[in-house]
């Protein structure tokens, strides 16, 4: 009845018709049974092992100093096979299944167990993630085979080993059947990012960024580790199957379990915020762009950062034990989305803009999860993976073509240059997706689902969050098209970057020829753009994948079905309006009248009352400096103080002081103890003597003591 009524009204709305979101009207179903290890599915393990083999083979290539493109073809081949097997697994999938591969940590006995094996837990959430992880991973490797060719004589094999180890870790993270293996993948992707960000290891900024990424992630990892301890403490297992069964049985609740259950989602959240670059742990992602390859940027932005969203989705039942935690997730996501968008508006480095945009879009995903729209969140992960991949790949083309130029003020009119046409148009489409251009872009549909939910779900301040989301959508459209209008449109003009990573491409004096992309890069751009277009129609499909999994939660429905009563009806119009408005503003300032943008900025800078705003935005709201002052500074100072304390107080004052006592007492023997060996000999002899006395005189001593005690008693 309600459903039918909805359909009628939905039919009146062009957006609803196109979205086909009637498919999302929930049909409550029984818990999904989880099969024991299915016979004959052991081959699925190769999805995990193939990237590992690829790592080893690329490592061998590095060790044997292979100087051709062999590592790239190994990686592309093996990752591609891994993708095809994921596809095959998806086609024959019918119910959640656990596939045991290898024993890892098996402890305990009859009364308790601590089991964490190399096993795969395959359900539709896993498959959804795996499809884009391995699919995109393969395409990235293909793109990199051309992008990195200047390094064939250098770190080519090392780079592809890094990509492979990243994919191995990501696969382990997503396909794990227990939290410990997830943790292995979790730290593994952190390590892979350390590897890839620090790829140009002679560049101090790259090394520093790599270090920062690893350490900031470790802070989140500690949260995840503590959450795992608590889960084991409360449920006696870290395996998903047993955990979900325990949760299904309904015998656990946050009320009965007290803080030790309530704390779990907050700790998990900390881990997710670290990996997915949310407040307060987002600071590593922009710096990761220092990592010189857009390929590594892409790996972070399109795949790795979704790990946090995956963790929350996977552990959704645990979060639902303590619904207040989801509100926190939503608010953190919303605030991060807004903060990152404001920073993105004021940056000049294309890669950094896209990095902040990633943080901002991840904020939307967490908002979706927090507001009980796990379908919207997962769909946004899916669509975002496509368009963000295109954005980073095209940014890479710009960088590659203009010798490391990433400043959007210094490249213009790209679409008029020969060889850059595909780049310009794929980038246009991706920017449109990010901006949420109505109907024809996937980002429009996925963002809309989240924003509408903000006006349906009930939670503290969700309406305000919805408004924040709408404002952020406007800012997003603005900064996305700021990049496109600056770089691809307008009059042709460019300056080469300062970096000359390789001598072969060194420009002739005074004349710089842009280096246009060739087949592999263009092919990858086109394939992913087609994927982005295709994903418009996959909302229902992605929704079903989620509903089939542990992340299933039937989002609250609107109270009424009239146009104004159901935000799903009016939100598309609002979203379209703010998106187009943002594009229009960007068009005015960055295409039609570029001087106006500079003029506005200068005017604001000139006015003391408004000067702080552009300055703070350009300086990323001084968050890095704040962290430095709050954490790194005190710890560094503490380290120095403790170092002095250790050396002068503990060691010299106390230890040496105590050691001096016997020496003072033994002044009389000074002639004997003037050398090291003598003092050693004396103490050794003393020790042996004491030993002898104790052993040989003990009976007498005991005798004497017992007589004395007897006498006393």
228 binding another protein? (CB under 8 A): yes
Provide the greatest CA pair distance for the chain: 111
Tell me if 455 sits within 8 A of 549, measured CB to CB: no
Write down the least CB distance from residue 651 to another protein, Å.
Answer: 4
439 binding another protein? (CB under 8 A): no
Residue from the set 232, 273, 364, 420 that interacts with another protein by CB under 8 A:
232
The SS3 assignment for 43 reads helix
Closest C-alpha to 483, from 562, 595, 395, 364: 395
Nearer Cβ to another protein (27/503):
503
Closest C-alpha to 403, from 150, 141, 590: 150
Residue from the set 12, 88, 105, 626 that interacts with another protein by CB under 8 A:
105
Tell me the number of residues near another protein by CB under 8 A. Answer: 70
Write down the least CB distance from residue 546 to another protein, Å.
Answer: 28
| 204-235 and 259-275 helices, crossing angle to 10° | 160
Helices and strands (DSSP H and E) totals, the chain: 30, 4
Write down the least CB distance from residue 190 to another protein, Å.
Answer: 9
609 binding another protein? (CB under 8 A): no
Closest C-alpha to 457, from 278, 327, 314: 327
Nearer Cβ to another protein (156/484):
156
Nearer Cβ to another protein (204/510):
204
Contacts of residue 403, Cβ cutoff 8 Å, sequence gap at least 6: 496, 497, 498, 499, 500, 505, 507, 512, 515
Give the binding range for another protein (CB under 8 A) out of 418-426, 437-445, 540-548, 694-702. 694-702
Handedness of CA 538, 541, 547, 550 (dihedral sign): negative
Site for another protein in 245-264 (CB under 8 A): 260
Tell me if 1 sits within 8 A of 557, measured CB to CB: no
Nearer Cβ to another protein (507/638):
638
Nearer Cβ to another protein (23/642):
642
Nearer Cβ to another protein (115/516):
115
Tell me if 124 sits within 8 A of 549, measured CB to CB: yes
Residue from the set 651, 657, 697, 708 that interacts with another protein by CB under 8 A:
651
Write down the least CB distance from residue 136 to another protein, Å.
Answer: 23
Write down the least CB distance from residue 105 to another protein, Å.
Answer: 6
Write down the least CB distance from residue 225 to another protein, Å.
Answer: 6
Write down the least CB distance from residue 502 to another protein, Å.
Answer: 17
Write down the least CB distance from residue 618 to another protein, Å.
Answer: 27
Nearer Cβ to another protein (99/238):
238
User: What x-and-dash track marks residues 654-673 binding another protein by CB under 8 A?
Assistant: xx---x--------------
CA separation for the pair 172, 118 (Å, rounded):
9
End-to-end CA distance of the chain: 96
Strand partners, 511: 508
Residue 549's CB: how many other CB atoms inside 10 A? 21
In our burial notation (b when 16+ CB lie closer than 10 A, e otherwise), range 647-656 reads eeeeeeeeee
Write down the least CB distance from residue 271 to another protein, Å.
Answer: 12
The number of C-alpha atoms within 13 Å of 436 and in the hemisphere containing its C-beta is: 34
Residue from the set 132, 183, 402, 478 that interacts with another protein by CB under 8 A:
183
Site for another protein in 33-52 (CB under 8 A): none
**Cα torsion at 578, 581, 585, 590 (round to 10°)?**
90
Write down the least CB distance from residue 192 to another protein, Å.
Answer: 11
Ramachandran class of 442: left when φ > 0, alpha when ψ lies in -120 to 50, beta otherwise: alpha
CA separation for the pair 501, 489 (Å, rounded):
27
Nearer Cβ to another protein (196/465):
196
Q: Label the pairing between strands 493-494 and 97-108.
A: unpaired
Residue from the set 17, 64, 88, 215 that interacts with another protein by CB under 8 A:
215
Closest C-alpha to 469, from 335, 309, 269: 335
Residue from the set 635, 672, 689, 697 that interacts with another protein by CB under 8 A:
635
Closest C-alpha to 487, from 406, 389, 430: 406
Residue from the set 214, 366, 444, 445 that interacts with another protein by CB under 8 A:
214
CA separation for the pair 100, 116 (Å, rounded):
11
Q: By the criterion CB under 8 A, which residues form the site for another protein? A: 102-108, 111-112, 114, 180, 183-184, 187-188, 191, 194, 198, 201-202, 204, 207-208, 210-211, 214-215, 218-219, 221-222, 225-226, 228-230, 232-236, 260, 635-636, 638-640, 642-643, 646, 650-651, 654-655, 659, 676, 679-680, 683-684, 687, 690-691, 694-696, 698-699, 702, 706
């Amino acid at each position: 009845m309600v459903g039918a009524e909805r359909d009628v009204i939905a039919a009146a709305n062009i957006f609803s018709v196109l979205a086909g979101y009637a498919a999302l009207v929930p049909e409550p179903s029984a818990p999904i049974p989880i099969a024991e290890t299915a016979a004959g599915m052991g081959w699925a393990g190769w999805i995990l092992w193939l990237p590992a083999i690829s790592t080893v083979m690329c490592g061998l290539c590095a060790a044997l100093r292979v100087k051709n493109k062999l590592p790239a073809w190994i990686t592309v081949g093996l990752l591609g096979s891994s993708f095809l097997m994921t596809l095959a697994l998806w086609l024959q999938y019918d119910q959640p299944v656990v596939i045991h591969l290898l024993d890892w940590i098996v402890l305990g006995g009859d009364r308790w167990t601590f089991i964490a094996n190399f096993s795969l837990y395959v359900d539709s959430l896993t498959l959804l993630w795996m499809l884009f992880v391995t699919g995109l991973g393969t395409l990235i490797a293909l793109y990199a085979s051309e992008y990195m060719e200047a390094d064939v004589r250098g770190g080519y094999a090392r780079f592809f080993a890094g990509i492979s180890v990243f994919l191995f870790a990501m696969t382990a993270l997503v396909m794990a059947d227990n939290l410990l293996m997830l943790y292995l993948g979790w730290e593994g992707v952190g390590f892979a990012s350390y590897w890839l960000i620090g790829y140009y290891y002679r560049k101090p900024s790259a090394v520093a960024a790599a270090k920062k990424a690893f350490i900031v992630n470790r802070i989140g990892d500690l949260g995840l580790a503590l959450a795992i301890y608590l889960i084991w403490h409360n449920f006696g297992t870290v395996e998903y199957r047993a955990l979900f069964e325990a949760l299904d049985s309904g015998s656990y609740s946050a009320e009965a379990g007290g803080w030790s259950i309530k704390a779990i989602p907050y700790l998990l959240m900390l881990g997710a915020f670290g990996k997915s670059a949310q407040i307060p742990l987002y600071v590593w992602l922009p710096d990761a762009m220092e990592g010189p390859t857009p390929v590594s940027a892409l790996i972070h932005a399109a795949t790795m950062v979704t790990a946090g969203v995956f963790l929350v989705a996977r552990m959704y039942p645990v979060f639902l034990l303590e619904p207040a935690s989801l509100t926190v997730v939503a608010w953190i996501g919303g605030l991060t989305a807004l903060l990152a968008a404001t920073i993105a508006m004021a940056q000049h480095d294309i890669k950094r803009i896209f990095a902040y945009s990633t943080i901002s879009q991840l904020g939307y995903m967490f908002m979706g999860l927090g507001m009980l729209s796990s379908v919207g969140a997962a769909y946004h992960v899916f669509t975002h993976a496509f368009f963000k991949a295109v954005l980073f790949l095209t940014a890479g083309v710009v960088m590659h073509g203009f010798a490391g130029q990433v400043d959007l003020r210094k490249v213009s009119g790209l679409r008029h240059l020969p060889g850059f046409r595909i780049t310009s148009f794929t980038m246009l489409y991706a920017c449109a997706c990010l901006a949420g251009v109505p109907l024809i872009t996937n980002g429009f549909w996925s963002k809309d689902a989240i924003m509408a939910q903000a006006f349906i779900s009930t939670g503290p301040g969700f309406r305000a969050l919805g408004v924040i989301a709408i404002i952020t959508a406007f800012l997003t459209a603005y900064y996305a098209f700021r990049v496109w209008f600056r770089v691809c449109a307008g009059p042709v003009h460019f300056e080469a970057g300062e970096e000359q990573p390789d001598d072969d491409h060194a420009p002739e004096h005074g004349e710089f020829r842009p280096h246009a992309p060739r087949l592999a890069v263009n092919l990858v751009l086109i394939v992913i753009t087609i994927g982005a277009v295709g994903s418009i129609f996959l909302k229902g499909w992605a929704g079903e994948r989620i509903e089939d999994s542990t992340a299933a939660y039937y989002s609250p429905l609107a109270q009424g079905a009239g146009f104004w009563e159901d935000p799903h009806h009016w939100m598309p119009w609002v979203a379209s309006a703010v998106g187009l408005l943002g594009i229009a503003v960007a068009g005015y300032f960055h295409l039609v009248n570029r001087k106006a943008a500079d003029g506005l900025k200068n005017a604001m800078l000139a006015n003391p009352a408004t000067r702080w705003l552009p300055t703070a935005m350009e300086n990323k709201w001084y968050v890095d400096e704040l962290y430095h002052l709050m954490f790194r500074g005190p710890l560094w100072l503490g380290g120095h103080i403790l170092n002095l304390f250790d050396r002068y107080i503990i060691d010299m004052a106390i230890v040496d002081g105590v050691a001096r006592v016997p020496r003072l007492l033994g002044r009389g023997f000074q002639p004997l103890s003037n050398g090291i060996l003598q003092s050693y000999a004396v103490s050794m002899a003393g020790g042996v003597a004491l030993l002898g006395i104790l052993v040989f005189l003990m009976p007498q001593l005991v005798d004497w003591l017992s007589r004395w005690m007897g006498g006393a008693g």
